[in-house]
Amino acid sequence: MYSFIQSFRRLLDKAILTFCGFAIITLVVTVTWQVFSRYVLNDPSSFTDELARYTMIWFGLFGASYLFGKNGHLAITLFVGSIKQKYRKYCHLVIHMVSFSFIYLAMIKGGTQLIGRTMLQSSPALQIPMAYVYFILPLSGSLMLIYLVLNTIDMFASDHTAQQG
């Protein structure tokens, strides 16, 4: 079962990194075209600024989800570091529960409400519903929750294998 979970994590990591790769290529191409059309052609492109902005938002939140999965997110470890080693996993479990609540309420629930409010609002240049832009909030929130569950399983699985070994 644990090997299936690790395979799933690798697949999820690969999917996120692939999307981020396409996003960074899109950013480079759109910003390069924007600079070229503005300074060489003296006719700035109307959609590239907006496309680059929205791509950057998606890139940033997908990247944050990936980083969350790697336990690379910003953390203040002073409190956890002062606790005895055998109690740290319980402290991490409380932190995971608080993180789960925040991510669910702010990103998933709040993001879903934001999508509902902006479905009829269109972006100025691309003329796409703004809900498509805001869809990244519940999507990245869901990815973060998946990673949170995987990290919690890893925490207890590594503790279990250390006891057996």
The per-residue pLDDT string of the chain (165 residues; one tens digit each, 9 = 90 and over) reads 788 999 999 999 999 999 999 999 999 999 999 999 999 999 888 899 999 999 999 999 999 999 999 988 777 777 788 888 888 888 889 989 999 999 999 999 999 999 999 999 999 999 999 999 999 999 999 999 999 999 999 988 865 554 444
Looking at residue 165, what is its pLDDT?
A: 45
Structure tokens at 81: 């570091």
Contacts of 78 (CB under 8 A, 6+ apart): none
CA distance 81 to 85: 8
Looking at residue 161, what is its pLDDT?
A: 52
Name which of 65, 53, 68 is nearest 133 in CA terms: 53
Q: What pTM does this model have?
A: 0.88
Helices 136-164, 110-118: axis angle to 10 degrees equals 160
Name which of 141, 66, 62 is nearest 99 in CA terms: 141
Name which of 54, 58, 77, 65 is nearest 128 in CA terms: 54
Looking at residue 122, what is its pLDDT?
A: 95
129, β-bridge pairs? 122
Task: Assign 29 to helix, strand or coil.
Answer: helix
- CA 68 from chain centre, in angstroms, equals 7
Looking at residue 141, what is its pLDDT?
A: 97
79-103 b/e (C-beta count within 10 Å ≥ 16 → b):
eeeeeeeeeeeeebeeeeeebeeeb
CA distance 66 to 50: 24
Looking at residue 159, what is its pLDDT?
A: 59
User: Is the torsion defined by CA of 147, 115, 52, 29 positive or negative?
Assistant: positive
